[in-house]
Chains A and B, each alone.
Chain A
Amino acid sequence: NAGVTQTPKFQVLKTGQSMTLQCAQDMNHEYMSWYRQDPGMGLRLIHYSVGAGITDQGEVPNGYNVSRSTTEDFPLRLLSAAPSQTSVYFCASTPGGGGYTFGSGTRLTVV
């Protein structure tokens, strides 16, 4: 199993550009989530999904969209990038209970 795979690992965007951060897991986990991590702050939940076709907002959802068309994939879309979205983004999955499996992260810089 590859676990949770995030792409790209690094990205630089200009203000106003849009992009999609990809997240895929091969463990058949129902629950997936996106976090951002900023210096001096803990992980903050952006959006999460409890199964295909079901998504909900987390703590900091503004400026981000998600969809869950399959169990495996949970892409995060930045609609119009802003410098405040410069961060490290982590995708995670869990079968419902137990611990989360995290991806290796996407380091995004918005200039």
Chain B
Amino acid sequence: DAKTTQPPSMDCAEGRAANLPCNHSTISGNEYVYWYRQIHSQGPQYIIHGLKNNETNEMASLIITEDRKSSTLILPHATLRDTAVYYCIVRAFNAGNNRKLIWGLGTSLAVNP
């Protein structure tokens, strides 16, 4: 599975959009982009995933560039409860081979009042 690069930290004002970037220049054609977040010391929480089309759900939007080498997670109206570490992961949709799944250190997002 490809490795991802994320900024170590970001700040966002409450109520504003938070745009979290992720680079995955070595992504393979069958690999999806997944985003998770970890609030304090809880277990990671799945947010969204996509292959090449932009995706939106009740939590966030995922924008993937046309060459699929980078993506952006958008929290449209960040709240204090969105303060967390956000992880960008790329992996094949079939979870059967996850020995090389790499979780980096993610981006620590601080939403400020």
A interface list, Cβ under 8 A from B: 4, 31, 33, 35, 40-45, 48, 50, 56-59, 88, 90, 92, 94, 96-105, 107
Contact = CB atoms under 8 A, between A and B. Distances in A.
Contacts, number: 62
Contacts of B42: 104-105
A92 B103 CA distance: 14
Interface of B: 34, 36, 41-47, 49, 87, 93-96, 98-106
22 contacts: A31-B95, A31-B96, A33-B98, A40-B105, A42-B102, A42-B104, A44-B103, A45-B99, A57-B99, A58-B98, A92-B43, A94-B95, A96-B95, A96-B96, A97-B93, A97-B94, A98-B46, A99-B36, A99-B46, A100-B44, A104-B43, A105-B41
B97 to A, nearest CB: 9
Given A97-B94, A99-B49, A90 B99 contact: no
Contacts of B49: 98-99
